[in-house]
Structures are given as C-alpha cells and as structure tokens.
Amino acid sequence: MNLDNVAREEMIVGGLAILLAICLLFFPWFDVSVSVGAFSASATFTATGDPDGWLGILAVIAAVLIVADLAVEKFSPQTQIPEIGGSRANTRFILAVIAAGFVALKFLFHIHFDLFGWGFYVTVVVTIALVYFAAQLRSAAPSMASAPMSSRPASPPPSAGTRAPEQPGSRPSSAGTESAGPETAGSGTSGSTPPPGS
C-alpha cells in the first residue's frame, strides 16, 4: 500500500474517522454506579448500547464510510462511487456532519452529566475535530487538485511548432522557381535571337 499520494490532511481526516468509530464502539458513554449500604455495583454503556444505541451505530457507519471513501479515491481511483455535493472532499465533509449529527442526537436524547463517562467527552472532542478537518480539506481540495498541473513543464505554443517546419520547406522552393524563371527566359532569348548586325 503506497501512502505517497495521500495528503497529510487526508490522513488526519481518515485517522479521526477511525478514532471516532473506536470511541463509539468501545469507550464508556455512560458510567453508572449504584451503592446500597455495603453493596455497590457499576456498569458502563457505550454509545452503540442502550439507550438509543441505533444513533451510535449510524454514527459509526458514517465514520466508516469516510474511511472507505478516502481509501477508494486514493487506492482504486478507477472505481466509480456516488458523490455528494459534486466532489469527494465534499462527500467526506457531509459524512462527518452526519456522524456529528447522530452523536448530538444521542447527547440530546439523554442528557445526564452525572452519568456521562470519560468516553463521552473524548467522543465529543474527536467529533468536533473530524468536522473541522473535513471542512479544511474541502476548502483545500481545489488547490490540491491543481497542484500537479502547475508542476508540469510548460509546452511550447502550438503556433511556434507548426511554422518552423513549413518555412524552410516552402520558401526555398518558391525562391527557386522565381529565380529559375528569368534565367530560363534569358537563356532562351539569347539562344534563339541572333545578335544584330550578324
């Protein structure tokens, strides 16, 4: 796998998308502890677990699609996949916004700051970073696409290439015919007309 054609910003977006999927799947979103006298119990729930774990699952799917879209573009450019908004960078940005939307809904449906685990806060930070860098990558996409074209050597103008072969071949032939005309006419006149007084 050659990573030379993957820009630094694209690596950041892909890495953040993978990290977001890991946070949603494995990090504790809720951390619940119950104590009754000498008895205590605790339980943790990820973002893909209850309650409303489907929101976390959809956010994971959106994050995985960002990684898949980036991988297809860089390692299998001949593969045609649908675009959102007219470009691959815009597609990844919209997917990042969709993932952030599902994370926000998970938060709004169950706002319990006394129950949120450390995984919730890590997920929020990673989600914000993903949307930010995806937006930066979308704004930098036109300049990144035009960079290879500017590095190519400039080709000579087509007019200079077409006139050079034509001028040497055309002018001597026309000059030869023009110079040969008077000589032929002169030689013919001197050879056919006798000098006066002969």
Query: What does 90-142 look like in DSSP terms, one character per residue?
Result: HHHHHHHHHHHHHHHHHHHHS--TTTB-HHHHHHHHHHHHHHHHHHHHHHHHH
- Which position has the higher pLDDT, 82 or 107? 107
Give 50-62 pLDDT, tens digit per residue.
889 999 999 999 9
CATH topology (fold) of 13-143: Butyryl-CoA Dehydrogenase, subunit A; domain 3 (1.20.140)
Give me the chain's average pLDDT, please: 78
Give the SS3 label for residue 156: coil
CA–CA gap between residue 126 and residue 185 (Å, rounded): 94
State the average pLDDT over residues 95-123: 94
C-alpha distances (whole Å) from 107 to each of 30, 51, 57, 66, 147 are 11, 11, 14, 22, 41
- pLDDT band of residue 93 (cuts 50, 70, 90) is very high
Q: What band does 184 get if pLDDT is binned at 50, 70 and 90?
A: very low
Q: What is the pLDDT of residue 113?
A: 85
Q: What is the pLDDT of residues 146-160, one digit of tens each?
A: 544 444 444 555 554
Return all residues near 43 (Cβ < 8 A) that are at least 6 apart. Answer: 31, 32
- Token representation of residue 31: 């951390």
How many other C-beta atoms are found inside a 10 Å radius of the C-beta of residue 52? 15
Q: Which amino acid is at 162?
A: T
Scan for tokens 């977006």, then name that residue. 13
Q: How many CB atoms lie within 10 A of CB 10?
A: 23
Percent of the chain with pLDDT over 70: 69
ω before 51 within 30° of 0 (cis)?
Answer: yes
Please report how many Cα atoms fall inside a 13 Å half-sphere around the Cα of residue 2, on the Cβ side: 6
**Residue 97: exposed, middle, or buried by beta-carbon count in 10 A (0-12, 13-18, 19+)?**
middle
| The Cα angle at residue 154 between residues 88 and 10, in degrees rounded to 5 | 20
Q: E strand or H helix at 15, and its extent?
A: helix 8-26
Does 191 score more than 90 pLDDT? Answer: no
Does 96 score more than 60 pLDDT?
A: yes
